[in-house]
Amino acid sequence: MFLDIGLLVLAYLLGSLSFGLLIARLYGGVDPRQSGSGNIGATNVARTTGKAAGILTLLGDCVKGVMAVLLAQWWGSSALISAAAALSAVLGHIFPVYHGFRGGKGVATALGVLLPTLPLPLLGGCAVWLAVVVIWRYVSAGSILAAVVIPVLAAILAYPLPMVCAAIGISLLVLYRHRSNMQRLLQGRELKF
């Protein structure tokens, strides 16, 4: 039990690592919290510091999510603990202890935690995201729709209940963090990528 709690804390702390801030500093760019959308995620880092920095941010945020889940799976924890570790890593990214609980929107870290746990629903979500971004060039709209599609596909494909519940929790967190984007999309003021 103490080990399981330790794994969840470790997953949260991994999720709290901010690759957006680190990479923006390495590239000599501006603090992403002070420019663009004010978000520390890959899209804003790409806008404010450059595409290469954005891609590295995406990879870093994704890898920390993968690591959090793989550590829980490697330790032989139950599906419930692996699902909770996935949720903890995304919570860490969105509400990082290292940065005053002001983090990103959770999409890249969600990608990372879902890769080893819900690969087929994630593939469906990525297809939806890509279609929206290619056709309409709204990263936020793609992220919002992917967040809705993934838990639905996880339930349809009968993945274990803890992972379906984690997917629902992650989806709700991503939607919550995109509420201002939803308002701008409805008002026609959202930035295209």
Range with lowest mean pLDDT among 52-56, 75-79, 125-129, 178-182: 75-79
> Nearest Cα to 65, choosing from 47, 83, 52, 48?
83
The reply to whether 192 falls in a domain is no
The reply to whether 96 falls in a domain is yes
What is the reported pLDDT for 121? 98
The reply to whether 120 falls in a domain is yes
Under 8 Å between Cβ of 37 and 115:
no
Which two structure tokens, joined as six digits, stand for 165?
């519940």
Q: How far is CA 152 from CA 15, 26, 122, 147, in A?
A: 24, 39, 11, 9
Q: How far is CA 101 from CA 69, 97, 105, in A?
A: 21, 5, 12
The reply to whether 124 falls in a domain is yes
Q: CA 20, CA 45: separation in Å to the nearest integer?
A: 6
Q: What is the pLDDT of residues 40-91, one digit of tens each?
A: 999 999 989 999 999 999 999 999 999 999 999 998 778 899 999 999 999 9
The residue segments making up the domain with residue 155 are: 2-187
Specify the number of domains making up the chain: 1
The DSSP secondary structure of 136-158, one letter per residue, reads H--HHHHHHHHHHHHHHHHHHTT
> Looking at the whole model, is its pTM more than 0.85?
yes
Average pLDDT over residues 79-106: 95
Q: CA 137, CA 104: separation in Å to the nearest integer?
A: 20
Helical axes 139-156 vs 179-187, angle rounded to 10°: 120
**pLDDT over 90 at 173, yes or no:** yes
Average pLDDT, the chain: 95
